Amino acid sequence: YCFSSILLDGSINNTEEDDEDDVVDLAANSLLNKLIRQSLVESSHRVEVLQKDPSSPLYSVKTFEELRLKEELLKGIYAMGFNRPSKIQEMALPMMLAHPPQNLIAQSQSGTGKTAAFVLAMLSRVNTLELFPQCLCLAPTYELALQTGRVVERMGKFCVDVQVMYAIRGNHIPRGTDVTKQIIIGTPGTVLDWCFKRKLIDLTKIRVFVLDEADVMIDTQGFSDQSIRIQRALPSECQMLLFSATFEDSVWQFAERIIPDPNVIKLRKEELTLSNIRQYYVLCENRKDKYQALCNIYGGITIGQAIIFCQTRRNAKWLTVEMMQDGHQVSLLSGELTVDQRASIIQRFRDGKEKVLITTNVCARGIDVKQVTIVVNFDLPVNQAEEPDYETYLHRIGRTGRFGKKGLAFNMIEVDKLPLLMKIQDHFNSSIKQLDPEDMDEIE
Ligand code: ADP
């Protein structure tokens, strides 16, 4: 079945809420990324390493065997289909598994193998003969905590005596319970509660502390302070690890406050570029006109798959209905869907079940659909000041230089928006050609 039709049947009459632009929710996007991820994300950059002690030798590994892991852990890794460490893991794992333990701050984009790395570190440091919490991992949301837990369960499949417990809201543990699970994954508020108020976890016995998704974490009110309160109660010999997909100054400042004497590992992201995208614009009078132009383009060239971006939910819905009524197979991805529903729509689109995906900004970032040849900006991305939103434009149509196939981008522009488009053209110093929608010869 198709979510978009369910959605449309139920809600064609627009509510006020539909007028709201979808706001980007960092935690939801991160979860979505995890749900739709199928394999490692590559990077052509080198891993940058900053050692706490520059005179100590720097180890990297090319195989998991070199790490001298417990047999059952190695079995778990291979059962997950991992053949060799990812780029970031090559450098991070030897540091994370070193004796004595070393602290680490690591930054690389999502999908590069950070979670797998720290799960491996936690599993390898658990002493199964001891029945109390030994590893503590903080995550920004309940759902993200569960995702990490799933990785622990899969990788630890053969480590039968290792158990996980979730310190998340709604997981009610009776007072006085003796927590015997060795790995605790939870959100800062609940973990704090379990440690200080309910005394379910003895922080002085924690050996590995992981702070995952630091960038998402600091975005949530109160989480930085709560995390720091937890960290302050850990023993000095506890290994402390922090991971982030991005590294603005704010993340860095937080990382330095919470991780003492760290090694630092960074893997830069593949840059987005417009250089292998042919960009066009079509001048239109109004929304109907834009739709007509879209149909002409659609009829005029052979299209693999297309993503169409709208600025508001209402526009996205309107367009979806129009296209469906004209017999096109489209699906709609917008912010009122749950993350699971979004993941399922993206998966269907990836499988080619729908040829057109209509969406608002929610999916502008991070979703990677390699076979998409065409991107349409049904509305130009603008910010609240009605200025062009350059970054969003780049994320919508840009490709990574290394993996990018040639692409086509169409901008549907009302006459009064033309100056905005010209600003975009100047900003990226790349040409956006005008297109007569009646004459598609120009493209092919
Ligand atoms: P991140 O935490 O940086 O987002 P993950 O650890 O979740 O990255 O890894 C991204 C994807 O790649 C997951 O599907 C994971 O199972 C897979 N993966 C991780 N490490 C390896 C590896 N060494 N070899 C193959 N696949 C891997």
Q: pLDDT by residue (tens digit) across 219-272? A: 888 999 999 999 999 999 999 999 999 889 999 999 999 999 999 999 988 788
Nearest Cα residue to 148 out of 160, 134, 136, 133: 136
The distance of Cα 412 from the centroid of its chain, to the nearest Å, equals: 29
Confidence of residue 365 (pLDDT cuts 50, 70, 90): low
For residue 26, how far is its CA from the centre of ligand 1 (angstroms)?
Answer: 20
pLDDT digits (tens, 9 = 90+) for 105-121: 999 988 999 999 999 99
Query: Given this model, what pLDDT does residue 370 score?
Result: 65
Please state which of the ranges 22-31, 280-289, 304-313, 417-426 shows the lowest mean pLDDT.
22-31
pLDDT digits (tens, 9 = 90+) for 192-203: 999 999 999 999
* Strand spans (E) along 162-253: 164-167, 183-186, 208-211, 239-244
Residue with tokens 């834009």: 290
For residue 249, what is the enclosing H or E element? helix 249-258
- Residue with CA closest to ligand 1 atom 6: 113
Query: Given this model, what pLDDT does residue 346 score?
Result: 85
pTM of the model: 0.84
Angle at CA 88, nearest 5°, toward 84 and 89? 45
Residues 6+ away with beta carbon under 8 Å from 348: 2, 331, 354
Burial of 84 (0-12, 13-18, 19+ CB in 10 A): exposed
- The top-scoring range by mean pLDDT among 139-153, 165-179, 360-374 is 139-153
For residue 112, how far is its CA from the centre of ligand 1 (angstroms)?
Answer: 6
For a ligand 1 pocket test, name from 63, 86, 213 the mutation site with the most ligand atoms within 8 angstroms of its C-beta.
Answer: 86
The tally of CA atoms less than 13 A away on the side-chain side of residue 55 is 0
Residues 6+ away with beta carbon under 8 Å from 161: 128
Q: Answer whether residue 2 shows pLDDT above 80.
A: no
3-state secondary structure of 375: strand
Pocket of ligand 1 (CB under 6 A): 37, 39-40, 80, 82, 85-86, 89, 110-116
For residue 117, how far is its CA from the centre of ligand 1 (angstroms)?
Answer: 8
For residue 138, how far is its CA from the centre of ligand 1 (angstroms)?
Answer: 19
- The CA dihedral of 355, 359, 365, 370, to the nearest 10 degrees, is 0
**Quick check: 142 and 168 in contact, CB under 8 A?**
yes
**Greater confidence, 76 or 39?**
76
Query: Given this model, what pLDDT does residue 39 score?
Result: 79
Which atom of ligand 1 approaches the CA of 80 most closely?
16
Rounded to the nearest integer, the mean pLDDT of the chain is: 87
For a ligand 1 pocket test, name from 35, 61, 88, 115 the mutation site with the most ligand atoms within 8 angstroms of its C-beta.
Answer: 115
For a ligand 1 pocket test, name from 36, 40, 61, 347 the mutation site with the most ligand atoms within 8 angstroms of its C-beta.
Answer: 40
- Residue with CA closest to ligand 1 atom 20: 113
Cβ atoms < 10 Å from Cβ of 381 = 20
Confidence of residue 3 (pLDDT cuts 50, 70, 90): very low
3-state secondary structure of 130: coil
3-state secondary structure of 328: coil
The tally of CA atoms less than 13 A away on the side-chain side of residue 375 is 30
Confidence of residue 70 (pLDDT cuts 50, 70, 90): very high
Which atom of ligand 1 approaches the CA of 88 most closely?
3
For residue 310, how far is its CA from the centre of ligand 1 (angstroms)?
Answer: 32
For a ligand 1 pocket test, name from 74, 77, 112 the mutation site with the most ligand atoms within 8 angstroms of its C-beta.
Answer: 112
For 14-30, give one letter per residue: b (16+ CB within 10 A) or e.
eeeebeeebeebbbbbb
Q: Answer whether residue 366 shows pLDDT above 70.
A: no
Q: Answer whether residue 124 shows pLDDT above 60.
A: yes
- Output 380-387 pairs: Cβ under 8 A, ≥24 positions apart: 380/311, 380/411, 380/413, 380/417, 380/420, 380/421, 380/424, 381/309, 381/311, 382/311, 382/420, 387/420, 387/423
Q: How far is CA 333 from CA 17, 111, 337, 361, in A?
A: 16, 22, 7, 9
pLDDT digits (tens, 9 = 90+) for 7-24: 333 333 333 344 445 556
For residue 157, how far is its CA from the centre of ligand 1 (angstroms)?
Answer: 17
For residue 40, how far is its CA from the centre of ligand 1 (angstroms)?
Answer: 5
Q: What are the residue ranges of helices labelled H in 37-174?
A: 71-79, 87-96, 114-125, 142-155
Burial of 404 (0-12, 13-18, 19+ CB in 10 A): middle
For residue 69, report the phi and psi dihedrals to the nearest 5 degrees: -85, 165
